[in-house]
Amino acid sequence: MTKRTYKFSNASTDFYLANGISHLKKITDIKATVLITDEHVYKAHAKRFKGWDTIVLKPGEEFKIQETVDAVVEQLIAMEADRKTTLVGVGGGVITDITGYVASVYMRGLRFGFIPTTVLALVDASIGGKNGIDVGVYKNMVGVIRQPAFILHDMGFLNSLPQVEWENGFAEIIKHACIKDAKMFAELEKNSLKTYQGRQKSICELIQRNALLKTKVVQKDEFENGERRLLNFGHTLGHALENQYELSHGQAIAIGMTYACHISEQLTGFKQTEKVISVLEKYNLPTYAAFDKQKVFNVLKMDKKREKKEMNYVLLEKIGKGVVKSISLKQLEKIIQDL
Ligand code: GLY
């Protein structure tokens, strides 16, 4: 079993890449561990959960709320979970968020780890320690930054991943390429979703490259005062659209990236919008959308990237080079109205 350890400011995470859930018992004591998953993952992979105490949640972003957290806490109490219990989130971004959040507050903090089962969770949601819940239309409004003790990759879970979830995950991969990795952008232009789905080696390499890219950014700036902000490319507008228009996260940030490219044209002189749009389209992601500008701006201005009357907006100078620009809310309102 190969292990790579990455250090953060006051914790470290062990990555077990391409190993399989069968190795979990070497990492955590089966008698003192509770797995948290959702009905979709549990039904498709029941065998993988055999022998493990498991809490099964209803799937979907609409359940990433305090009520679910309360229900999990009640189940942990009923199971007599204590401070020596390890929680392991086996699922996509909703499961990793809820698991990391519950593990951070139950008895003031338990050890936790993740087995991400979607492309999005493998390259993004499982990494970085931000774990929280939504409050109404406000995404991730309440949460913590606390790093998982381990992340175990089991690519076998991807066998049951619906097509739309593949597309969802590729939105974050395209985001990484746009802000930091022009070479990967060129690779994405050349390939297609089919290429990656058809070749285990290519998807493994792509996932590990993205997991590493994000990990390195977080290592440099765990508490998001600088470089880590780049990971929010497409997310400011995307989050404001996501819960209001019932889009998947990937769809929402794809639209967010499209408009961020247009805002970049105005503010940084970015000239490659068409290239970004054609890659998004190639991976079956939406680009332009009709939305109520005022309604969306009213949600957007509550974004966590706001500092008083300024918003830290992520733009592109060129493909592979993201930058953060502080835009006054007044100017941003006008820009959004004119989009
Ligand atoms: N859990 C996702 C992140 O920290 O960015």
Closest atom, ligand 1, to C-alpha of 96 = 1
Q: What is the architecture of the domain spanning 163-338?
A: Up-down Bundle (1.20)
Q: What is the mean pLDDT of residues 40-53?
A: 97
Residue nearest to atom 5 of ligand 1 (CA): 128
Higher pLDDT, residue 92 or 2: 92
| CATH 3.40.50.970 is held by the domain 3-160 | no
What does the DSSP assignment read for 187-247? HHHHS-HHHHHH-HHHHHHHHHHHHHHHHHHHHH-TT-SSGGGGGGTTHHHHHHHHTTTT-
Task: Name 177's Cβ contacts closer than 8 Å, sequence gap at least 6.
Answer: 184, 185, 188, 279, 319, 320
**Ligand 1 centroid, distance to 97 Cα (angstroms):** 8
Catalytic residue list: 108, 130, 172, 214, 224, 228, 232, 235, 239, 249
Q: Which of 101, 114, 131, 175 to mutate to test the pocket of ligand 1 (most atoms within 8 A of CB)?
A: 131
pLDDT tens figures, 228-249: 999 999 999 999 998 789 899 9
Distance CA 335, CA 245 (A): 20
CA distances (Å), origin 283, targets 193, 253, 290, 327, 328? 6, 13, 21, 30, 33
Provide, rounded to the nearest whole percent, the portion of the chain with pLDDT above 70. 100
Binned at pLDDT 50, 70 and 90, residue 339 comes out as confident
Q: What is the mean pLDDT of residues 186-201?
A: 95
**DSSP bridge partners of 142:** 133
Three-state secondary structure call for residue 118: coil
Provide, rounded to the nearest whole percent, the portion of the chain with pLDDT above 90. 90
pLDDT tens figures, 304-337: 888 888 999 999 999 999 999 999 999 999 999 9
Q: Edge-to-edge strand order for the sheet containing 12-16? A: 4-7, 12-16, 150-152, 111-116, 86-91, 33-38, 53-57
**Ligand 1 centroid, distance to 3 Cα (angstroms):** 21
pLDDT tens figures, 62-72: 999 999 999 99
Contact of 320 with 180, CB cutoff 8 Å: yes
Binned at pLDDT 50, 70 and 90, residue 98 comes out as very high
> Do 163-338 and 3-160 have the same topology in CATH?
no
Residues with CB under 6 A from ligand 1: 125, 128-131
Closest atom, ligand 1, to C-alpha of 214 = 5
Written in H, E and C, the secondary structure of 146-168 is CCCCEEECCHHHHHHCCHHHHHH
Which pLDDT score is estimated for 132? 97
| Burial category of 286 from C-beta neighbours within 10 Å (exposed 0-12, middle 13-18, buried 19 and up) | middle
**Ligand 1 centroid, distance to 146 Cα (angstroms):** 9
Which pLDDT score is estimated for 308? 87
Domain ranges of the chain: 3-160, 163-338
Distance CA 236, CA 325 (A): 13
Q: Which of 9, 104, 118, 130 to mutate to test the pocket of ligand 1 (most atoms within 8 A of CB)?
A: 130
Residue 54 φ then ψ, to 5°: -135, 135
Give 62's DSSP letter: G
